[in-house]
Amino acid sequence: MLRRIDAVVPAHDEEELIGACLDALLVARAAVLRLRPELQVGIVVVLDDCRDDTARIVRERLAGFDPEEAVTVVIDERSVGAARRAGVAAAVRSGAVGPTAAHVSERWIANTDADSRVPEDWFSVHADAFDDGVDVLLGTVRPDFTDFSEEDVERWSLTHPPGHLPGNVHGANLGVRADRLDELGGFRELAEHEDVDLVERARAAGLRVVPTLDAPVETSGRRRGRTPGGYAAFLAETYPRS
């Protein structure tokens, strides 16, 4: 039985977008708690070498929440893999003691990014995946079309028709059972592609890896991201700006 689900959000200098990210997560959190009031739902933000106003915005957005429900971790690694790893460790520690403590086998880790906005049913879709016996859930993402030209939006629509399930790996929408994550050794401290690396190891271990079109996450359409590769690099190559 699922007892707890935590969203892990790595952030490096995301003052422009982290507020909208957290607002969306809080809406999704409230929505799943209406359906599953017994569920523990946490949010973990990992501030990785943030030198802008990200920390202040996170503090303001999560003010008033119980420390077991809203956790901020500070590291200085400039590594999304290290940030996700630190976030997962903090998530598993949250709610680990007391009469309502959730065992690692009763937990799910839902990953997203600081430049992304989850839909209202996001936590619910991830919780349902746990109930359905999924080990790793591969969610889809789409760029924020306000960052696209009309021509780019048209191209995107042609290459992503309704019902098309590519099965790509996106750290902005990736869920995994906490016990399976532990068995795999967690996220590796890679500068990028830590999500792809994890899924490759999950498949090699014979885990149940399932793609879904439900609860797509909207992510920034920027062409220069926080790592050399990743989604921003894909957009820059596929949808170059003149």
Compute φ and ψ for 59, nearest 5 degrees: -60, -45
pLDDT score, position 223: 45
Residue-range domain boundaries for the chain: 4-146+166-218
pLDDT on residue 163: 76
pTM of the model: 0.91
Q: What residues in the chain have per-residue pLDDT under 50?
A: 223
CATH 3.90.550.10 assigned to 4-146+166-218: yes
Distances (CA, A) of 208 to 105, 134, 170, 202, 222: 15, 6, 17, 8, 32
Alpha-carbon span 156 to 72, nearest angstrom: 35
Classify residue 73 by burial, with Cβ atoms within 10 Å: 0-12, 13-18, 19+.
middle
Amino acid 196: pLDDT: 96
pLDDT for res 147: 73
